[in-house]
Amino acid sequence: MQPPFRKATRCSDPPRPRVLILTLLTQLGGIVYLIALAAAHAFGLRRFSAKLTLLVLCYAAAIVATQFAAPDFGRVPLSCMAGAEDRLMVRSPIYCALNRNYVTPEVRDLAEALAAHMDAQFPGTTTVALDANFPFVNGFPLLPHLPHADGKKLDFAYYYKDANDTFLNGATRSPIGYLAFEEPGPGDELPCAGRHDWLTTRWNFDALQPLFPAYRIEEQRTAAAVAWLTTEGVARFGLQKIFIEPHLKNALGITDAHVRFQGCRAARHDDHIHIQIE
């Protein structure tokens, strides 16, 4: 009896999971991967190292080209190459390598004005930006931040100090700025207490917390930044909302109605500040 016929896998079948993952991670990575694959085939490249080199070169070219192309689609990059004079920095070059540093020109202007204000009020202060948006296509979310899909959203790091109350310029508790949470104290407002949502990105990452340095939020600068955002940010740049975890909002004495709770299905906001404009 003949064994059951198995359909052969063709070499030309697109490697869909890789394309999907690269697209979700970097927006451009999936397309670049397919182009590099086609180029490797055209050039007759067989060795893995040669194919990988070609992919890296194609991806690097795509990152550079995107910086010039994105403004035509309404988004500009925040620079990951901040120098000593710059008062606004993106937390890590990884953000730019993954194309997660794009905003509308209005959000860029807001971020630069906030950083200039903070440096004027507290000389030598650098303001740290985190995840922004991808460069193209409204509605394409920057996972895991679903609303970061139109260039009008940006996350900032909190300002931190060490155990001796010394301000730590440009520092964050985790290398990427996220996931090192401020824990609420006894009696603090806990809007999600007792909930067990299964469809949520409000993850606590308890196992990671001991790995981060015990910096604390520098209240003066953080409160000053929020005060500027809720006044100048609203009046000059159309700031619409700020998300901060309620226990931090209360600790910082913030009462402005633009500062809101993001809901229990969204990520915690005691490791970063989320802003969005109209």
- Where along the sequence are the contacts to Zn ion (CB under 5 A)? 145, 155, 274
Nearer to Zn ion, 147 or 184 (CB): 147
In the complex, what is the shortest distance from the CB of residue 11 to Zn ion, in angstroms, rounded to a whole number? Answer: 42
Q: Are 187 and 247 in contact (CB under 8 A)?
A: no
User: What amino acid occupies position 253?
Assistant: G
In the complex, what is the shortest distance from the CB of residue 193 to Zn ion, in angstroms, rounded to a whole number? Answer: 23
Which of 183, 187, 193 is closest to 248 using CA atoms?
Answer: 183
Nearer to Zn ion, 36 or 172 (CB): 172
Nearer to Zn ion, 244 or 251 (CB): 244
* DSSP string for residues in the chain: -PPPP-PPPPTTS--HHHHHHHHHHHSSHHHHHHHHHHHHHHHT--SHHHHHHHHHHHHHHHHHHHHHHGGGGT-EEPPS---TT-SEEES-HHHHHTT--EE-HHHHHHHHHHHHHHHHHSTTPPEEE---B-SS-TT--BTTBTT--SS-EEEEPPPEE-TTS-EETT--SSTTS-S-PPPP-TT---TTTT---SS------GGGGGGS---EE-HHHHHHHHHHIIIIIHHHH-EEEEE--HHHHHHTT---TTEE---TTSPPSSS-EEEEE-
In the complex, what is the shortest distance from the CB of residue 272 to Zn ion, in angstroms, rounded to a whole number? Answer: 7
In the complex, what is the shortest distance from the CB of residue 108 to Zn ion, in angstroms, rounded to a whole number? Answer: 16
Nearer to Zn ion, 55 or 103 (CB): 103
Nearer to Zn ion, 15 or 144 (CB): 144
In the complex, what is the shortest distance from the CB of residue 147 to Zn ion, in angstroms, rounded to a whole number? Answer: 7
Nearer to Zn ion, 37 or 273 (CB): 273
Nearer to Zn ion, 33 or 134 (CB): 134
In the complex, what is the shortest distance from the CB of residue 148 to Zn ion, in angstroms, rounded to a whole number? Answer: 6
Nearer to Zn ion, 75 or 274 (CB): 274
In the complex, what is the shortest distance from the CB of residue 246 to Zn ion, in angstroms, rounded to a whole number? Answer: 16
| Number of other CB atoms surrounding residue 198 within 10 Å | 5
Q: Provide the token pair at 25.
A: 């991670």
In the complex, what is the shortest distance from the CB of residue 42 to Zn ion, in angstroms, rounded to a whole number? Answer: 41
Measured between alpha carbons, how far is 173 from 208 in angstroms, rounded to an integer?
A: 11
